[in-house]
Structure 1
Amino acid sequence: MSEPPPAEPPGSLLGIGVSPGHTAGPVARMAAPPELPARRPVVDPPAEVKAVGAALEAVAAELERRAGAAASAEAVAILEAQAMMAADPMLREEAERLASEGLDAAHALDAAFAAHREQLVALGGYFGERAADLDDLRNRAVAAVLGLPMPGIPSPGHPFVLVAADLSPADTVTLGPEVLAIVTEQGGPTSHTAILARARGVPAIVACPGAAALADGDPVAVDGDTGRVDTGIREAFAQEIRVRHGLERARLAASRGPGRTADGHPVPLLLNVGSAADLRDGAGEGVGLFRTEFLFLDRRTPPSLDEQVAAYAAVFERSPKVVVRTLDAGTDKPLPFLGLPPEPNPALGLRGLRVDRVRPAVLDTQLAAIAQAAGDCEVWVMAPMVATWQEARDFAERARAHGLTRVGAMVEIPAAALLADLLLEYVDFLSVGTNDLGQYTFAADRMHPGLADLLDPGQPALLRLVADCARAGRDAGKPVGVCGEAAGDPRLAPVLAGLGVTSLSMSAASVPAVRESLAGVTFEECRVLAEQALSAGFRERHDRRWKPRPSGANAVEA
């Protein structure tokens, strides 16, 4: 007989739950970054220059190797982007210059990375988000030049709860099945750690400062729904939690059917994908967000029309419906072939649809390729970062001129949400991207570790903007979906449905829990929850522990 859970755990920490699930196990902490030894006299500067280049090449090669073994297009894109950063000729030139002037290789690398990091932080926006990636690359390069193993996931020889200050994309995408859960001291709801943990179905908590006090071997229980880490638990209790977690995952994995509430109100559950490799048969009811930028990464010239047709067709052939987002890049997400100069504030500059102002041929080629690849698939196309009704009108005209009949706009800027009714005079649907919409609504950098609570998609100000969009869609008789990370949150799914959102798009791993969450409440209960969320805030009202009632006779049948 299993040991009953204690009435009150011996101690607990609280962070932000970003990937649902409740499991338990011993802590294994990420190794600390390599320490720089004391500076040593340099007697052979050319040898130090050579060592700098060899270390950077080793880091880039290791990341490229990981990219080749990665399972998803998103993981491949992240790792390839990091490999490009390690191979940056300006970074190498700076480190080699410092080595040639008398610094040993380790200190030359450290100083060069520090200088580049300072520049990225000053630029802010997407560049600021990449500062954490530079920290990871610095640690890998210094370890390589010192002859130490590159930092990475620990391997204690048994299942464990991974605890770290933060996780780099290179670490997150290589998590093995022995990682029961993730707890980080930094990060936010839309960080790489959060997104990739959800995609893998691993319970995760971020922005948990108390995690720094946890030691290797400490038994903890991690609840990715509530953001709570219980410490000092007994092994019998941990075993019971793991068994329940395994049974719950197996039950959810067997879940099938369309998204709908207990009384049959439909809420289609769609997938976020970057390529055909991300599609899973039977996981969703179509694709609600096809991120096309992965095709454009790591290129000095844009992909040709034929290349794009082939890549899009591979997705269209495997799904009955696909919502395509045109290229979401710019000075905040620099792509070499665009040739855009750096900006003082890239998050507020040329990005998304705005790139069309200076590179119109890129959008025209992409629209032509999408239309040519469509075949028998129901293809919808939408533009990112729409701010005005004029932009919505012009994009709709361009897309329809290429033969695309279902044209929409993403709502990622408060201005677009406030003008949702006007946008819908020109487009056929809206898709709310809660990640950027939250960032711009709260003026809070998505990667700022001290502002993660402001990026919680349950914030009432953000939900009110979503409600405005849904209301405009209802009045116009046009669909309004959500494709941000909020869509894959099983706690928020009933709230979004109650606001009037007509579809939810998420990673494949999130679909079963969201399906079950909706099946556990009636549509009227969804509306009540939505009203509560708008007035008092979803997280505060439910103490961040609300769950729908267990699915019973009204649950979606397997």
Structure 2
Amino acid sequence: MTSSLLPHASSQEVAPAVSAASAATGEQPAPGARTLSGTGVGQGVALGPVARMAAPLQAPGEEPSALTPEQEHARVQESVAAVAQDLAARGEAAGGTAQGVLQAQAMMAQDPALDKAVRARLGDGATAERAVHESFEQFRRRLEQAGGYLGERAADLADVAQRVIAHLSGLPAPGVPDPGHPFVLVAQDLAPADTALLDLEKVLAVVTIEGGPTSHTAILAREKGLTAVVGVAGAAELTDGETVVVDAAASAVEISPSPEREKEVRARIAERAAAASAPVTPGALADGTPVPLLANLGSPEGAAEAVELGAEGVGLFRTEFLFLSAETAPDVAAQRHAYQQMLEAFPGQKVVIRLLDAGADKPLPFLTDADEENPALGRRGLRALNAQPEILRGQLTALAEAAAATEADLWVMAPMVSTAEEAEAFTALAAEHGLRTAGVMVEVPSSALIADQLLTRTGFASIGTNDLTQYTMAADRLLGSVAELQDPWHPAVLRLIGEVGAAGARQDRPVGVCGEAAADPLLAVVLVGLGVQTLSMAPAAMADVRAELARHTAAAARAAAQAALAAAGAQDAREAARAALADGSR
């Protein structure tokens, strides 16, 4: 471990959170209810008593140590190693996105910059507990002051400090309460180690006082299908045992709802449960138009759950998990093994694997330039791979070997493609390696605007709405300060998606969406109306999207798309689409 804390703090982000506006579905809190607002995660609703997370450990005392600095440092090293091992074990048990998040947190614990700060305080006579508290708090404040995505990693570091101090003191690690009955968990913020292993039989929903759309609570809650509202400042007033409604679709927490409101919420919960337990059918519109629903996956471990939830294949398999915790690029054999695991879970089905998307928030010491002033606009994705052709060719070789050993229909795509020349060169290189179907990600406006030229040179296009939105709106998706602009409902973004959909129809090439927008049921209908043929999302979102698609015809989807395109802004587009679909159902 040679790098410093701040770059690694963002290295495990895999998928940014949907904004509160994107989550809204038109559900509104009951009139007169005392309501708190935040950022909703998903479409769920929950009702139950509050159980608050226990207060953090008290700051260690300032009395001088009776041991030598070397003895105290040995204690710190033992506790840090134990905490890192525990976090890694929790990540392995959780799998998926959580594993990468917890690996990043374990790396935080072992950061050499932190160790240097601890050593300095031990040299001044502090105890191990006090040195850890002061050093970690110093770095936590730096992250918080940085704001945006790094600011939201401050809670992760604070959790590591608490765990190390608890181990040093012989106390239980901080964790989720267990009141003996199902409950709504309320916390200042929720550490990844706790979120990853929540008992969903007991935890009905999560409400956090801090956190935002890119917090790990939001990311992991979405992956687990957990109802959550984050960044609810007023939640500090909630008390144990108090009944609340947590309505993620409305981004609201209702306090002490009326009996009538409780009845409404229970009916909605039952309706959602019935839809989730209904026999899984292929994605389709009401008139029978097929809209395959594919899974976004970050590791092979998530494949079984995706199949169980009705995934008709994989629309985005992120390969970063193989690279992010490595000091050097994994060899062809290691990559082939992981790819083969994924492909074997989907015999005869389409599996779209994205090549390594490094750079920006996912820097790699062996691939990207750590000194770039603006890495989001620098050498990332295919640009970085083209600069290191041996890594690119190694990945293509491993994919071709894995495909040859399985029965899945492998499609491979390149991230961050900006020009027709890049698309043509990548497609030719994939063919040279024996890969039959190659395509490109559409994540920047230039690709959308020249989609016809791209699709005459490559096999398919997959639209990454997270990046396409940030580049269209000039609003970094990792910065909470511009979160209101990070909305794929904006007509400018929709217009670019429509350009790609129309080009796909003209060139007879498949066009899909694999960004977070596909998980928004209402927006999913609009995307189909814009010419998108497949939708890929977190498996937990499939039931809601499948049910919404089944309510509308292709003609209604096109009408909703046109209504959204004619709107002035994101919220207007959302309301216009909803109104158009309501008119079409009459």
TM-score (norm 2): 0.84
* Deviation by residue 1:280-301 (Cα, 9 ceiling, x = unmatched): 3351111100111212242233
Q: Which residue of 2 aligns with 1:415?
A: 446
* Secondary structure at the counterpart of residue 536 of structure 2: strand
Q: Which residue of 2 aligns with 1:259?
A: 283
Q: Which residue of 2 aligns with 1:301?
A: 328
- Counterpart CA distance in 1 for 2:410 and 2:276 is 29
2:307 counterpart (281, 288, 297): 281
- Counterpart CA distance in 2 for 1:205 and 1:383 is 34
2:501 counterpart (452, 456, 470): 470
Q: Which residue of 2 aligns with 1:436?
A: 467
Q: Which residue of 1 aligns with 2:319?
A: 292
Q: Which amino acid in structure 2 is aligned with residue 16 of structure 1?
A: T
- Counterpart CA distance in 2 for 1:189 and 1:253 is 29
Distance 1:242 1:54, change over 3 A: farther
**CA offset at residue 518 of structure 1?**
0.3
Say which is worse superposed, 143-152 or 123-132, in terms of deviation: 123-132
**CA offset at residue 119 of structure 1?**
6.3
**CA offset at residue 392 of structure 1?**
2.1
Q: Which residue of 2 aligns with 1:405?
A: 436
> Aligned residue pairs: how many?
546
- Counterpart CA distance in 2 for 1:24 and 1:449 is 28
* Deviation by residue 1:47-72 (Cα, 9 ceiling, x = unmatched): 432333233223212202212322x3
Q: Which residue of 2 aligns with 1:327?
A: 356
- Counterpart CA distance in 2 for 1:425 and 1:528 is 28
Q: Which amino acid in structure 2 is aligned with residue 313 of structure 1?
A: Q
**1:39 pairs with 2:68:** no
Q: Which residue of 2 aligns with 1:103?
A: 126
* Secondary structure at the counterpart of residue 205 of structure 2: strand
1:143 and 1:149 in contact (8 A); partners too: yes
Give structure 1 stretches of 5+ with no counterpart: 554-558
* Secondary structure at the counterpart of residue 95 of structure 1: helix
Equivalent positions of 1:110-509 (< 5 A) are: 110-117=133-140, 130-177=153-200, 178-234=202-258, 237-238=261-262, 241-242=265-266, 244-279=268-303, 280-281=306-307, 283-319=310-346, 320-330=349-359, 332-335=361-364, 338=367, 340-375=369-404, 376-509=407-540
* Deviation by residue 1:418-444 (Cα, 9 ceiling, x = unmatched): 333332232221111122223333343
1:316 and 1:322 in contact (8 A); partners too: yes
Distance 1:335 1:366, change over 3 A: same
**CA offset at residue 545 of structure 1?**
12
**CA offset at residue 469 of structure 1?**
2.3
1:23 and 1:203 in contact (8 A); partners too: yes
* Deviation by residue 1:493-513 (Cα, 9 ceiling, x = unmatched): 111111221110012221111
Distance 1:135 1:6, change over 3 A: closer
Q: Which amino acid in structure 2 is aligned with residue 509 of structure 1?
A: A
1:331 and 1:341 in contact (8 A); partners too: no
Distance 1:124 1:230, change over 3 A: closer
Q: Which residue of 1 aligns with 2:16?
A: none
Give structure 2 stretches of 5+ with no counterpart: 1-27
1:331 and 1:342 in contact (8 A); partners too: no
- Counterpart CA distance in 2 for 1:7 and 1:175 is 29
2:207 and 2:230 in contact (8 A); partners too: yes
**CA offset at residue 89 of structure 1?**
3.1
* Deviation by residue 1:435-480 (Cα, 9 ceiling, x = unmatched): 2223333343434444433323323333233223223323322222
Q: Which residue of 2 aligns with 1:528?
A: 559
Q: Which residue of 1 aligns with 2:106?
A: 83
**CA offset at residue 122 of structure 1?**
8.3
Q: Which amino acid in structure 1 is aligned with residue 344 of structure 2?
A: E
- Counterpart CA distance in 2 for 1:87 and 1:478 is 48
* Secondary structure at the counterpart of residue 215 of structure 1: coil
Q: Which amino acid in structure 2 is aligned with residue 384 of structure 1?
A: P
Q: Percent identity?
A: 49
- Counterpart CA distance in 2 for 1:387 and 1:250 is 44
1:173 and 1:196 in contact (8 A); partners too: yes
Say which is worse superposed, 274-283 or 484-493, in terms of deviation: 274-283
* Secondary structure at the counterpart of residue 217 of structure 1: coil
**CA offset at residue 543 of structure 1?**
6.0
Q: Which amino acid in structure 1 is aligned with residue 42 of structure 2?
A: S
- Counterpart CA distance in 1 for 2:312 and 2:385 is 31
**CA offset at residue 514 of structure 1?**
0.6
